[in-house]
Structure 1
Amino acid sequence: MTKLVLAIDDDKLVHHIVDEALSRTCKILHAKNGEEGLRLANKYRPDIILLDVEMPGMSGFEVCEQLKKQSETADIPVMFLSSRTDISERMRGYNAGAADYIVKPFNAEELLARINVLDDYRKTSSKLKQDVQRAQTTAEIAMTDSGDMGRIMRYVGQSYHAHDLSTLSSYFLEFFIPMELDVAVAFWYRQSATFYSSEGVIQPIEQELFEKHKNGSRFVDFGRRTIINYPKVSLLIKNMPVDDAGVYGRYKDLFPHILEATDAKIKDMEVSEDALTKVEHIGQVFAELSDHLSGVGNHYSGKVAEFQSLIQSEQLTALQPQERERLQELYKHFTYLSDELTIIKYKLGEVTEMRQQLIESLNKIAKPWDEGEVASQVDIELF
């Protein structure tokens, strides 16, 4: 299905680049200022809006804020076009409601790629919106301090039984449903980042903000949004109740508890994965060593048998008694070594069995029982 894209910019060159990049896959509407852009957006409801920041009359930020205030256009992804590269400009755009931000000058290939990302986000977000709303409607839990801490304890129990990031994220995001908070989370697992959102998909600009502030302060506040950072997890709250100082302060005291528990869980998952990897490696080394010793042992046993036959043959009757005694002692030595090799092979077999038991134990730690046995946050009893 052809995407409908609205480009709002006072620069004719930008409109030309947009045409060049998207004309084959999209139908394009053009507006030269904010007022015209708002009118076209309300009339045609485009799939995606490209919006210049600096324009005569209304700025791009003002246009975006107007679009997000209107229910008819609030869900349309907006990508800002700007010549400024600083992070504060991106944060201002995100606060205004943008889903992405591209810096001028840009080429046609880059624009098309980012348009496709936004279109995927739009489709997935629309599909999941009803599920999110249904979950928010059914999750009615009293918001007392004891209730909050009770749900934190429940989350800690749930997280113990999570053995992958996807399961952990579902428990994590579920925690915020009763508070009607729109959140996204970044898990910094090993050398990579994995993102999840209560909306089902994360916007490109949100991902960029996570990455920019990963090593920043514990709390990063901008407008109604707050990022809380821990070494292995970062939380973005998109609708903090800044107008209610009591609730706002309570949330800032409360959320570090769940983030600290999540941070510890991810570290534990990394340690468990490292242990499994090392056990697997040790197992491979022992298997190779066992095969090698088995081959050596078989060859050695064959040579011992040949040697025994030799010293019992008539060819050695001509040897002096002292020489025959030395050969008998040497045969005993070879026999002893052969017995020791047999014992080593047996011990290697025991190590292999213990390795398999260790793997099973580590897997049980990672996944103690079926996820279906873990209670949901919506089933919690407050105390």
Structure 2
Amino acid sequence: MRSLQAQPSSTSKGKGKGKGKGKGKGCILYFEDDKDLAKLITDTLESLDYTVVCYNQYPQDGMTEIERTLLVRPDVILIDIRLPGKDGYEICKELQKHYTKDMPAVIFTSGKSATEEIMRAYEVGGDDYIAKPYRLAELQVKLEKTIASASTMGQLNEELSRARSMVYDTMTENSELGIILRFLETSFMAKSYKALYDHLLATLNEFGLSASATFYLKEEAEYCSPDNCDHPLEQRVFNASKNKGRMIDVGNKTLINYSAVSILIKSMPLDNPLRYGRLKDQLCLLANGVNQRVKALELELINDQHKDHISIVANVIGQMVLDMEKNSVNLSKDFENIILDLESNLGEDFVRFNLLQEEEDALMTSVTDTITSASSLLQRSVEFEAQYSIVMQELMQNLNKPT
């Protein structure tokens, strides 16, 4: 006589811990409308240290009723295909709706062994099929193998999940390192501290982060913030923490100190310890790159100032050379005119003074010798100025050469 009441014939409740672990060897959810067979199977399996919850049909309240009785996830669902109300195939589909991510193994039982039923059982998601009448030893072997297989599959899934997580973390880390390397490669293009900060901020945005920074120059500190505004309290944090260590955590912010720059990283992922730790290592690398660029930038700015000064000096020297050349030409002309005037005046004076020819020749010889000596001295002066001009021109050319 078959009962059509949807009641569990046994409500042994497992106390095992962990998902899917009931008492002893495992937990079995059993659907069988043959009361005698259901009792025999239930008693036998419980004697073998299984937890069994058996229904003679799918309960009206569905999984709500089953979960009230079955406190843990079953390891195996044993379903007779021919049941009143929902048949075994329909029950399997209902259970799949509930166990969407971790469906227990399903073994179908039936008094028929037709190929169509076996194919249908496989189609709806069954893992095994056992035809009635079956021996208890056969059922025991199938249950043990199914539970062992499910356990192995669970371990494989866990290992696969860990492997996927490791691959994802590795890819993420490589991607983040790629961002940092790209920053280090392109930071030399920043020609001012503000440009360097903007480049840093754009890089941090790729990490989902933001930051303020203070650059420590020789005579002053230059503070930069994302909104380009002054934040006095934040600047005081920079000043107070500069010599307090390489890395300081302030809530969900991390301050990284180097000799030429301090960077206050905002919105650190405290809820993700793995990424938080990885980011701290990577951000130290990033901050070190910024620090090196600040030092190089300071030298470049000093070098640019020297270039400007040298350019001014070169222009002054160039003008001096031009003036010297012009003065030298004018001096030669003036000297030549003076000599000509002197010769003309002496000729007139000789006539007026009524000198004897002998006296005139002697005086003329003395004047000529003096003029010759003066001309020689002037020539040497001109040659010296010419050599000096050449030296100055070479100096000016060297000053104007790019460094």
When normalised by structure 1's length, the TM-score is 0.49
- Relative contact order: is structure 1 or structure 2 higher (C-alpha 8 Å, sep ≥ 6)? 1
When normalised by structure 2's length, the TM-score is 0.47
Which of structures 1 and 2 has the bigger CA Rg?
Answer: 2
